[in-house]
Amino acid sequence: MTKKVTKKSASAKAGTTKTTMLKETKNPTTKRPPNNPDMPDQTIYELNRDLNDIRGTLDNYSRHLRALDRKRLNGVGIKKLGFIERTYEHALENEEYLPHYLTIQRFGNDIRYFIDFRALLDLTRQIEEKLWNIVIESADVAYTDALEYYAYVRESAKRRVDAAEAIYNDLSVFFKHKRTFHEEVTEKQLKRDFNALLHSKKDGIIQIENVKPKLVGGKHKVVDETFNNTAKYKSVVDGEIVE
């Protein structure tokens, strides 16, 4: 069963991430990352407070947009931005072509409003990149710490030190390969499972779905579901036949 690890912080709600199996090495690296100045806790608190204040301020002016809503609205790239600016220049020289409900002042204010927030967005992206750099570096340090502890526990378990073996067994699962549920099933494996089911040597289900290609691509789906020691273990393979 796949374990889930919950990460918590004082500034954000807990989020759940899927545990990734790691590849164990005989001599895990213990090389320490380069030392970087650590940000003081008070500074982290102030950044968190300020960013939450900014988010609260934006809530008063930002509409909730769904993905479909964003598709319906006109985004502005370089080409459209050039069109807007060129149109505004013509409007300044020839105001008589402006619709009666659109004044030159409103047109200019709308452009300025857009440009101001686009500049803010560029700034936040630069901030996000710097924050992500700190996250990556700090994660590497934490992972190195964990590897060093794990290496010491593993050596202690080999020497049969009390409690070390239990800790090693608990941590070693992160380095063991686990079969995924969506692997490709080969034709040889499919025939082997079919014969086993046909002669009542295994419990399971084999389903084959095939649609011949017409004007569009066809479909060939195989579900090979076999049970070993039915009460304890279930292995499922769902994928395309590899010939």
Give the model confidence (pLDDT) of 221-242 as tens digits.
Answer: 656 665 554 444 344 444 444 4
pLDDT in the model for residue 110: 93
Q: Tell the burial category of 133 from Cβ atoms under 10 Å away from its Cβ (0-12, 13-18, 19+).
A: exposed
In Å, what is the CA distance from 70 to each residue of 66, 141, 179? 6, 39, 39
- Using CA atoms, how far residue 123 sits from 46, 60, 62, 226, 230, in Å, is 19, 20, 18, 54, 57
pLDDT at position 62: 84
pLDDT at 47: 94
Q: Assign 93 a pLDDT band (cuts: 50, 70, 90).
A: very high
Helices 104-158 and 164-172 cross at an angle (nearest 10°) of 140
- Residues 21/178, Cβ–Cβ less than 8 Å: yes
Helices (H) and strands (E) counted in the chain, each on its own, are 6, 7
pLDDT digits (tens, 9 = 90+) for 118-143: 999 999 999 999 999 999 999 999 99
- What is the predicted pLDDT for the residue at 238? 46
Q: What is the pLDDT of residue 65?
A: 76
**pLDDT score recorded for residue 51:** 94
Which are the contacts of 23, defined by CB distance < 8 A and separation ≥ 6?
175
Q: Is the entire prediction scored with pTM above 0.85?
A: no
Q: Measured between alpha carbons, how far is 154 from 146 in angstroms, rounded to an integer?
A: 12
Q: Which tops the pLDDT comparison, 59 or 176?
A: 59
| Whether residue 193 has pLDDT greater than 90 | no
Identify the residue with better confidence: 63 or 95.
Answer: 95
- Which of 73-82, 146-155, 158-167 is the most confident on average? 146-155
* pLDDT beyond 50 at 7: no
- Measuring CA to CA, which residue among 152, 144, 151, 137 is closest to residue 32? 144
Task: Say which DSSP state 40 is in.
Answer: P
pLDDT in tens, 54-68: 999 999 988 887 777
9-13, 17-21, 205-209: which has the highest mean pLDDT? 205-209
Cα 49 from Cα 57, distance rounded (Å): 12
Give SS3 for 79.
helix
What pLDDT is stored for residue 221 in this prediction? 60
Q: Which residue has the higher pLDDT, 183 or 154?
A: 154
Q: Mean pLDDT of all residues in the chain?
A: 76
Ranges of each domain in the chain: 19-54+71-177, 185-242
